[in-house]
Amino acid sequence: MSEQTYIMIKPDAVASGKIGRIISRFEDTGLVIERMELDTLSAEQAAANYAEHEGKPFYQGLIDYITSGPVVKMVISGPDAVAVCRKLMGVTDPAQAAPGTIRGDFGLTMDANVVHGSDSPDSAKREIGIFFGDLK
């Protein structure tokens, strides 16, 4: 069964010229990029996406980082797209991510881990709404 997921290439990867190499990882699996846009996130979009972290010590730094420069926002679809994309990305901490994963190959730190992906179909639906809906 085909499903959609939300993927975002973060400011560190955009600034260091890794967009094409990251996108090819998703396309090489047979997943389909339904929508893609280069954009700088608003503080409102960032706050909506990371609402579960509000009040935590790292929250403001996360908001400042994700709004610091352009990102590539994507809606990707295919069979089990959420799980497939999560496997391609690797674990959140690049130091623990396996070689061959996007974070393992391109990430440097927990803060600059190059890519964000939805962790469930419900999260994907919510995040697609935040980043491709009416919230600016």
| φ, ψ (nearest 5 deg) of residue 111 | -75, -40
Look up 116 and say whether it is catalytic: yes
Please report how the helices 81-89 and 19-28 are oriented relative to each other, as an axis angle in degrees rounded to 10: 130
Q: Which of 45, 103, 116, 127 is catalytic?
A: 116
CA distance linking residue 59 with residue 54, whole number of Å? 6
DSSP 71-93: EEEEEEEEETHHHHHHHHH--SS
Task: Tell me the CA end-to-end span of the chain in Å, nearest whole number.
Answer: 32
Which residues are catalytic, by number?
Answer: 116
